[in-house]
């Protein structure tokens, strides 16, 4: 299913790859009788009559004991001592251990619906048998089967979903004594480009497969394919993700879930090195509400905005390094209008280039004391940190002056 231009839903699952890196602590080894680095070496001492044992005079000329020359102690580097083959084997072992430690928390999902059969992946949220997957994996399903790595099979049912984040929760009924391994949650907010990323799932029906790669980018804004609102703070990865991986976990090098594999960008429908995952920090807010209430509600300001271009900066008279979210539209009877936020009275095209702009709108540069660099930043902050009914404080630039605006958030329509 195509969710955006050249972006396909991975209804059968997505696998992210992660390159494993090993950190081997270096230690230094000295001689059989090492000298501590902070031990002082005695300086030369002149022998005179005053410091001879018993004092008195002497006809022997004073002698000087020379300071011994500095000695470079040998340092052993365990990494340098390893052969290339040993380093590769150590990297392999990291991935082997990670797979064996996490595979029991991953499941294969098969669905049947009026339109046919489907397949995807999921992962264990809690000991009660709640499983996180993508909404598009179970959308319209009349039957759901859940399979574990050890061969166990369960019937599943959807207890809640959120199409705006492409997330759903499936519940299985465990028998007393059934083993269940809960996935360990990581942190997606502090991810950095270049970190390891490992994907587990069932691409093309090849169950319980693992791929590895890196975090290619963070903070993407990705259309969900179901709503006009996009998924914020999305993780991009070059780990191999293919149909069948959808709903499966994207892991860090410690085996913690950092994302939920959801889409790929591809000309062919298979992996091309550009995959996307819903950030786990969004799932931390959405999933508990899906389990408890069957739905999740997002906060809403009621504005549309643009990134700053040089033309807009010039029109606003701000520095060419200025960042922020420029308001181009304010919805009636929404928090932004009630708080007095002001939109540009002119117009902008879809690329945020001014068409008939008047440059008299407000520029949002902060929220609750945090910098806002773009509309994506603002959307991500609202989704990851706020709920309807919360008060927030916006920092805006209006007519060249900085102002604070307090508003109360409502629910997305």
Among all residues, which ones are annotated catalytic?
136, 166, 246
Question: Which string of b and e fits 161-175 if b means at least 16 CB within 10 Å?
Answer: bbbbbbbbbbbbeee
Report whether 158 contacts 136 (CB < 8 A): no
279 in Cβ contact with 236 (< 8 Å): no
The residues near 115 (Cβ < 8 Å, ≥ 6 apart) are 140
Query: Would you give the DSSP letter of residue 165?
Result: T
Mark out the alpha helices in 110-253 (DSSP H runs).
135-138
Decide: helix, strand or coil at residue 202: coil
Q: How do 196-201 and 209-223 pair as beta strands?
A: antiparallel
Could you tell me if 211 and 199 are in contact, meaning their C-beta atoms sit under 8 angstroms apart? yes
d(CA 340, CA 330): 10
Number of neighbours of residue 94 by Cβ within 10 angstroms: 15
> What residues have CB less than 8 Å from 265, skipping those under 6 apart?
6, 7, 8, 272, 274, 275, 276
Measured CA to CA, the distance from residue 106 to residue 121 in angstroms comes to 7
Q: How far apart are CA 342 and CA 294, in angstroms?
A: 36
Q: What 3-state DSSP class applies to 22?
A: coil
Helix axes 375-385, 280-293, angle to 10 degrees: 40
């Amino acid at each position: 299913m195509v969710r955006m231009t050249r972006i396909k839903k991975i209804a059968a699952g997505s696998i992210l790859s992660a390159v494993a890196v090993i950190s081997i602590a270096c230690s230094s080894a000295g001689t059989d009788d090492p000298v501590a680095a902070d031990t002082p070496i005695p300086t030369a001492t002149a022998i005179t009559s005053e410091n001879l044992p018993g004092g008195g005079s002497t006809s022997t000329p004073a002698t000087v004991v020379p300071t011994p020359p500095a000695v470079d102690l040998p340092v052993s580097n365990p990494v340098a001592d390893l052969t290339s083959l040993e380093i590769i084997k150590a990297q392999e072992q990291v991935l082997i251990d990670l797979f064996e430690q996490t595979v029991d928390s991953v499941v294969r999902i098969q669905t049947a619906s009026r339109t046919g059969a489907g397949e995807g992946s999921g992962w264990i949220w809690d000991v009660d048998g709640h499983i996180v997957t993508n909404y598009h994996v179970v959308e319209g399903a009349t039957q759901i089967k859940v399979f574990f790595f050890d061969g166990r099979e369960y019937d599943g049912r959807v207890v809640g979903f959120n199409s705006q984040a492409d997330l759903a929760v499936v519940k299985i009924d465990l028998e007393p004594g059934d083993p269940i391994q809960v996935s360990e949650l990581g942190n997606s907010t502090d991810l950095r480009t270049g970190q390891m990323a490992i994907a587990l799932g069932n691409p093309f029906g090849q169950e319980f497969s693992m791929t590895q790669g890196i975090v290619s980018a963070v903070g993407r804004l990705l259309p969900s394919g179901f709503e006009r609102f996009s998924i914020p703070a999305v993780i991009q990865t070059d780990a191999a993700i293919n149909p069948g991986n959808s709903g499966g976990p994207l892991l860090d090098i410690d085996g913690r879930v950092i994302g939920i594999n959801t889409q790929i960008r591809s000309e062919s429908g298979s992996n091309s090195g550009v995959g996307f995952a819903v950030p786990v920090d969004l799932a931390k807010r959405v999933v508990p509400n899906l389990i408890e209430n069957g739905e999740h509600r997002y906060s809403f300001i009621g504005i549309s905005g643009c990134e700053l271009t040089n033309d807009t900066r010039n029109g606003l008279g701000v520095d060419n390094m200025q960042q922020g979210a420029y308001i181009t539209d304010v919805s009636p009877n929404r928090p932004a209008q009630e708080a007095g936020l002001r939109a540009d009275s002119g117009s902008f095209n879809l690329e945020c280039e001014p068409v008939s702009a008047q440059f008299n709108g407000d520029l949002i540069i902060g929220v609750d004391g945090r910098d806002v660099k773009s509309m994506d930043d603002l959307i991500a902050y609202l989704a990851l940190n706020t709920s309807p009914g919360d008060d927030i404080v916006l920092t805006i630039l209006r007519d060249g002056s900085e102002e604070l605006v307090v508003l109360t958030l409502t629910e997305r329509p």
